[in-house]
Amino acid sequence: MEPMKRLPRLILCLLVSSAAVAFSQENSQPATQAAPPAIAKSGLTRFDLDFPGGSPNELVAAIEKATGRPLNAIVPIERASIKMPPLKMKGVDVAELFDALGYASRSLGTWYGFKTLNPNPAKADSSIWFFCFEGASHIQQPGVYLLTPYLDQGLTVDDITTAIQTAWKMQGYSPMPQLSFHKETKLLIAVGEPIQLEVITQVLGALRAPPPLKPEPPKAKE
């Protein structure tokens, strides 16, 4: 009878052993990987960006610093002085960023931003982007300013043009608008964009001498 008693125990041991082997094999298989992050799904590097504002080339440099890789971008010289607004982004890629920048720039019929000829730019970081501007406000136009009041108060033409060019340089305009002084008529003639010509008006307004103070009337003697 002893062998008959041992038989159920043997079967139980075999069942437990089989279950342990199956569990071990199941756990030894590599775990199912999580869904790939957005970077792999889109093909574009995602990054955080804290851009204080500046020119298109400065934006490109900020993106390259944030991503740790070069960005294929072309900025025409005549568009290099356009100012980009401050941008603070989290977890974006360049396609999303440039789309949003284009929509945000729409005002008074203008548009600026980066475009690509790649029909599917979300596939790879190697897309080539080029900066463009669309709108009438970028058209060059003349501006004419009479300098006689400023020359009469002791300023020179060089004083005035240097102040204007300094303001343009601080704004990042490159190349700067053209300036020419007509000696016979004392006219300063400039050719540039409306926003650049506005700088001339501001500089001349700041250089204008304040009106002389009127003398106080004599006090009546008591």
Concatenate the DSSP letters of all residues of 136-178 into one string: GGGS-EEEEEE-HHHHHTT--HHHHHHHHHHHHHHHT-SSPPE
Question: What pLDDT score does 110 carry?
Answer: 75
Question: What pLDDT score does 23 carry?
Answer: 44
Assigned domain for 20 exists: no
Concatenate the DSSP letters of all residues of 97-136 into one string: HHHHHHHHT-BTTBEEEEEES-S-GGG-TT--EEEEEESG
Q: Do 124 and 193 lie in a common domain?
A: no
pTM value is 0.47
Question: What pLDDT score does 192 carry?
Answer: 86
User: How many Cα atoms are found within 13 Å in the side-chain-facing hemisphere of 18?
Assistant: 6
Q: Tell me which residue has tokens 């203008």.
A: 110
- Of the residues 116, 136, 156, the one at which a domain ends: 136
Question: What pLDDT score does 89 carry?
Answer: 93
> 115: which residues sit within 8 A by CB, 6+ positions away?
98, 129, 130, 132
- Of the residues 103, 118, 136, the one at which a domain ends: 136
- Amino acid at position 159, single letter: D
Q: Tell me which residue has tokens 């004599």.
A: 218
Q: Do 132 and 183 lie in a common domain?
A: no
Question: What pLDDT score does 107 carry?
Answer: 63
Q: Do 192 and 114 lie in a common domain?
A: no
Take residue 13 and report the two structure tokens written for it: 């041991």
How many domains are there within the chain? 2
Q: Which of 181, 184, 219, 217 is nearest to 200 (CA)?
A: 181
Q: Could you list the residue range(s) of the whole structural domain that residue 107 is in?
A: 38-136
Question: What pLDDT score does 140 carry?
Answer: 76
Question: What pLDDT score does 39 carry?
Answer: 45
Q: Which of 209, 211, 210, 191 is nearest to 200 (CA)?
A: 191
- All residue ranges of the chain with pLDDT < 50 are 1-4, 7, 10, 12-16, 19-24, 26, 28-40
Question: What pLDDT score does 189 carry?
Answer: 95
Question: What pLDDT score does 7 carry?
Answer: 47
Three-state DSSP state, 189: strand
